[in-house]
Amino acid sequence: MTDPLTSYGQSRKARIDALAATSVAESGTVEEAPGLSLIASAWQRLRRNPVFLLGAFITVAFVLLALVAPWVAPHDPAVGYLLDKVRPQSNPVPGPEPGFPLGADSRGRDLLSRLIVGARQTLIVGVFATLGGFLGGLVLGTLAGAFGGWVDSLVMRIVDVMLSIPSLLLAVSISALATRPSQWTVILAIAIVQIPVFARLLRGSMLSQRSSDHVLAARALGIKQSAIVFRHMLPNALGPVIVQATLVLAVAIIDAAALSFLGLGNPDDRKPEWGQMLGQSQQYLADYPHLAFWPAACIIVVALGFTLMGESTREALDPKSRR
Amino acid sequence: MMSDAPLLSVEDLTVTFGRRGQEPFRAVDGVSFQVRPGQTVGLVGESGCGKSVTSLAIMGLLPQRGNTVSGRVDFEGTNLLELSTDDMRDRRGRDIAMVFQDPLSSLNPVVPVGVQVTEVLERHRGMTRKAAMPVAADLLRRVGIPDPDRRIKDYPHQMSGGMRQRALIAIALACAPRLLIADEPTTALDVTIQAQILALLKELVEDTGTALIMITHDLGVVAGLCDEVNVLYGGRIVERGARHPLFRDPRHPYTNGLLGSIPRLDAVGERLTPIPGSVADNLPWDHACAFAPRCSQPIERCTQVTPVLEESFGRALRCHNPVEVPR
Amino acid sequence: MTTPPVDDPDVLVDVRGVKVHFPIKAGVIFDRVIGHVYAVDGVDLQIRRGETYGLVGESGCGKSTLGRAILNLEPPTEGHVVFDGTDIASLKGEELRRKRQDIQMVFQDPLSSLDPRQSVESLLVEGMKAHGLAKDAKEARPRLRELLTAVGLPVQALSKYPHEFSGGQRQRIGIARALSVNPKLIVADEPVSALDVSVQAQVINLLEDLQEQYGLTYLVVAHDLAVVRHISDRIGVMYLGAIAEEAAAVDLYARPLHPYTRALLSAVPIPDPDVEDSREQILLTGDLPSPSNPPTGCRFHTRCPWRQDTRCDDERPQLRVVAIDGVPEGHRVACHWAEQIDSGELRPHEVTPVAVGSDELPPAAVEPELMGPASVTEAL
């Protein structure tokens, strides 16, 4: 692979030579090189952006960890190896010792292993909750943005009602409806809460596309309405929504933690999840804050990673920031 | 009335923008010009020629991070580039004022226009709000805002574009600055309103004796207003002259090309002679003339040697092969 | 009010009594119509085959809306747009979509009017596919080359994306797209005003060349009278939703009859100091009244230096042929006193400016004293 800066310099030199050699055509010169799409040119800039690189590094590390977790974790997260050291009165949470660098939780299970394996569950909750919210919002937002009129009014009033309920309260209500709380009720609750956010964003984005010059141009050209919606409006409207998705992923992980904290999370703690771990640490918070610290730190770092990546992508895709 | 000592003397002004992941960009590249008291000087050029950056550098309004400004900007003997941020803030509005292109975004939307005028008076002349109010109303009347005692309480969005630009000019004139910089003051306005604003500026310059730097892309605006015109291209001045000789006898192929590419209202439909290409086709000034690829009469020297700005008889020209035939 | 339909086969577009009124809505849950913006309020005009009709006026005069109404991109509230025998204004759905092939549009902002995700090839092929002129890009290749050559772009432009071009090149792409479906009429809405001065001339010349090459008819909508006069055969001057004066380009400049046209002509700066020094300007006072509340009678009477006490305030003047020696029949003006003004019988007088606020309502809840420093004054 060539160093991007040298190749940039070389292409510039070649360009100057070409310019110097002949006088330009009336329309000006067009470079010989094949075209670079919007996304490709955004990527050109992103891969030199340290903010994006940091975000991407955190995100990739997190996903990799989630994938290989069972093989990397030093112990089985469900087995209470240090259970015999737990004394409910004097020592409810065993401290670090050789082989168990972060100590164990109140049931004697290795904290480090639980954190590592927890990455996988956390990723599942984050990704599926976000995906659910995204798809729901996609359908509603497209309907509202593409048709306008009474469809728009109807969809948006429903969305407004959903938005008027505090999101956590809504998530709590939804997960309380489930007869047996599980990981999937958590995912579902968070997904539903995120639907109006996505729907509103997409709708606004679709509306601005609808009144944009290039959509007007497509109408003037006599392009079919369906093609205008799916080929011109939706792809251009999705940019900000996809970026929002990376931000929502972080929110979803935090929401999952909140639900677990309230006892509405996944009761099956053989499959640890960071939010759930944070929730379970509450009764020891005063004396053993490290139980809460580690999962919280993991959540913050991962959320930061997604947010940095999302924000820098948004910046790179913004046509105004180009050149 | 005009004395020979310059009020403002810009020498070798260079502004470089740092760009992430790319080489720095020289937006203004060794610009020198002078403004005498009471004189109206035009900076003319197309987008990206550095005219607005020049004015922002004079005003000290460029963001400091990542940018470097070098050269001298002498205003009555003080180099403005060396002043501290606080000293410069004192000068702005009192000695040098600026009028921007978009009057709506230059005015604070939640403060009545009158208060925005009095604020300047309070700050620079130490007046109280109460004492400043009638002065502000007077200023608004002077710039042609009808019924100023009532309009003084209006918010910017309650005014039309032309009225806002008048209000902006009133704010700029509040402290009787000796230099007014107008950056495309009429570009956002309709022609009939533009004519009003230009007439107002002309009148104010005559009445108050303030010097004016007029920044515009419109050669027509310059033709009626400026004593001296600087034509900028690619961050450098390529030609300078008093307006009559410059328009009658443009020597630089760019000036000549610009005049040939504008349809004139008073000329019958002759075919226009455009300048080929766009600014994207420029060469770097380092060892060539930036305009060479678009030039109508380039010679070999143009792509090998940087032309220098040569002054003679009140004209200045940066060209290896100037246009010989007067228009 | 509406002129009778024209059977002249020379006329390609016959615009009759077109009005476009936008409702102003208010309300929290249910929208109420609280007024209208009379953007276009009764326009008649004919565009002949092969000519360039220029529509000129200041912002808010309704020229762009009229341009869009002719394409039925903005359905007219009232009136007819007869194009080649078909009333475009009454078409809907698939019929309208098919008809769009004949009338194309060139936009002001070349970047925003091109879909940023489409390569030039895809941009140009799309319309051809929609009208059955080509099945895919491969079949369209020869035609694409021809289009690019016609607008002066190299073939390698095909694989590129809009953001990779300069402003002038983008406008060429926009023009090529309009040409791709073989239209008869092109409506160009401010085709050069977003471009640099040196590039404007390129595009103006290109439009002229293409007209000759393809036998096109143009409707050019612009605010720049110099550009419109240069490019047009006939010009309509619009003021507040109606045509104030219509004439051949040469006649309009030589003998403007409407006071507004006179003011407009005298306001356009000319890049020649000698001319500028000696010109007499008619400076209009005041601003354009709001199109949601246009003045009664002659729309221009609030700013007119020739306003008379009779007729102007209450009788709306119609576009009419005037009986003045040397003024051809095609030169029509909507002014009650055109003859008297032209002969010098009526002299201009002072006009007290009427301040016009914007349409927005004052911010009721804003407490000025509580707010921070102003943006400008902060800089001072």
H/E run at residue C56: strand C52-56
In a domain, A310, yes or no: yes
Say which CATH number the domain at C40 has: 3.40.50.300
| C266–chain A nearest CA distance, Å | 33
Question: How crowded is residue B13: how many other Cβ atoms within 10 Å of its Cβ?
Answer: 23
CA distance A184 to A125: 8
**Set of chain B residues whose Cβ sits within 8 Å of the Cβ of A17:** none
* Closest partner CB to A28 (pick from B21, B278, B284): B278
In a domain, C278, yes or no: yes
Counting the structural domains of chain C, the total is 1
CA distance A311 to A305: 10
Question: How crowded is residue A155: how many other Cβ atoms within 10 Å of its Cβ?
Answer: 22
Subunits with 3+ Cβ pairs within 8 Å of C are: A, B
Name the average pLDDT for chain A.
Answer: 81
**Set of chain C residues whose Cβ sits within 8 Å of the Cβ of B120:** 377, 380
Domain residues for the domain of A269 are 38-79+100-321
Question: How crowded is residue B79: how many other Cβ atoms within 10 Å of its Cβ?
Answer: 13
| pLDDT digits 0-9 by tens, C6-34 | 567 889 999 999 999 998 887 666 678 88
Measuring CA to CA, which residue among B103, B4, B15 is closest to residue B59?
B15
In a domain, C28, yes or no: yes
DSSP code, position A8: H
| C101–chain B nearest CA distance, Å | 30
Residue B102 burial (C-beta neighbours within 10 Å; 0-12, 13-18, 19+): middle
Please tell me the least confidently modeled range out of A27-41, A185-199, B151-165: A27-41
Say which CATH number the domain at A268 has: 1.10.3720.10
CA distance C47 to C28: 44
CA quadruple C156, C159, C160, C161: dihedral, nearest 10: 150
| B52–chain A nearest CA distance, Å | 18
To test the contact with chain B by mutation, choose from A6, A23, A51 the residue with the greatest count of B C-beta atoms within 10 A, namely: A23
Domain residues for the domain of C271 are 11-93+240-367
In a domain, A14, yes or no: no
B175 CB contacts (<8 Å, ≥6 apart)?
A: B93, B94, B97, B120, B121, B124, B125
In a domain, A303, yes or no: yes
In a domain, C156, yes or no: no
Residue B217 at interface with chain C, using a CB cutoff of 8 Å? yes
Place of tokens 């002259």: B241
Does residue A65 carry a pLDDT above 50? yes
**Set of chain A residues whose Cβ sits within 8 Å of the Cβ of C202:** 26-27
Please tell me the least confidently modeled range out of B318-327, C45-54, C161-170, C232-241: B318-327
In a domain, C326, yes or no: yes
In a domain, C310, yes or no: yes
User: Angle formed by the axes of helices B161-173 and B113-125, to 10°?
Assistant: 10
Q: Which amino acid is at C91?
A: L
| A319–chain B nearest CA distance, Å | 16
Dmax of chain B from CA atoms? 67
Measuring CA to CA, which residue among C139, C163, C328, C348 is closest to residue C246?
C328
CA distance B227 to B314: 12
Q: Which amino acid is at B59?
A: M
- Are the beta carbons of B199 and C283 separated by less than 8 Å? yes
Please tell me the least confidently modeled range out of A19-33, B170-184, C240-254: A19-33
Measuring CA to CA, which residue among C200, C205, C202, C206 is closest to residue C222?
C200
Does residue C370 carry a pLDDT above 60? no
* Closest partner CB to B265 (pick from C229, C281, C375): C229
To test the contact with chain B by mutation, choose from A16, A47, A49 the residue with the greatest count of B C-beta atoms within 10 A, namely: A16
Place of tokens 């404007």: C200
Distance of CA C236 to the CA centre of its chain: 9
Question: How crowded is residue A177: how many other Cβ atoms within 10 Å of its Cβ?
Answer: 10
| pLDDT digits 0-9 by tens, C108-155 | 988 889 998 899 999 999 999 999 888 888 888 999 999 999 999 998
Residue C138, both tokens:
């491969």
- Are the beta carbons of B281 and A27 separated by less than 8 Å? no
Q: Cα dihedral sign for A103, A105, A108, A114?
A: negative
Residue B250, both tokens:
């443009």
CB pairs under 8 A between A and C: 108
In a domain, A245, yes or no: yes
| pLDDT digits 0-9 by tens, A144-194 | 888 878 888 888 888 888 888 887 788 888 887 877 777 888 888 889 888
Residue C228, both tokens:
């419109």
Contact C128, C144 (CB under 8 A): no
Residue C363: the pLDDT is 36
Residue C359: the pLDDT is 41
- Are the beta carbons of B276 and C166 separated by less than 8 Å? no
CA quadruple B4, B10, B11, B13: dihedral, nearest 10: -170
| B85–chain A nearest CA distance, Å | 28
In a domain, C350, yes or no: yes
Please tell me the least confidently modeled range out of A304-318, B241-255, B284-298, C250-264: A304-318
CA distance A172 to B280: 57
In a domain, C101, yes or no: no
In a domain, A203, yes or no: yes
Contact C277, C352 (CB under 8 A): no
* Closest partner CB to B191 (pick from C267, C273, C362): C267
In a domain, A43, yes or no: yes
* Closest partner CB to B278 (pick from C166, C366, C368): C166
Counting the structural domains of chain A, the total is 1
Does residue A101 carry a pLDDT above 50? yes
Question: Terminus-to-terminus CA distance in chain A, angstroms?
Answer: 25
* Closest partner CB to C172 (pick from A27, A34, A212): A27
Does residue A7 carry a pLDDT above 80? no
Name the average pLDDT for chain C.
Answer: 86
C310 CB contacts (<8 Å, ≥6 apart)?
A: none
Contact C194, C108 (CB under 8 A): yes
A297 CB contacts (<8 Å, ≥6 apart)?
A: none
ipTM surpasses 0.85: yes
The pTM of the full predicted model, rounded to 2 decimals, is 0.85
In a domain, C373, yes or no: no
Residue B157 at interface with chain C, using a CB cutoff of 8 Å? yes
Range ranked top by mean pLDDT from A80-89, B97-106, C26-35, C193-202: C193-202
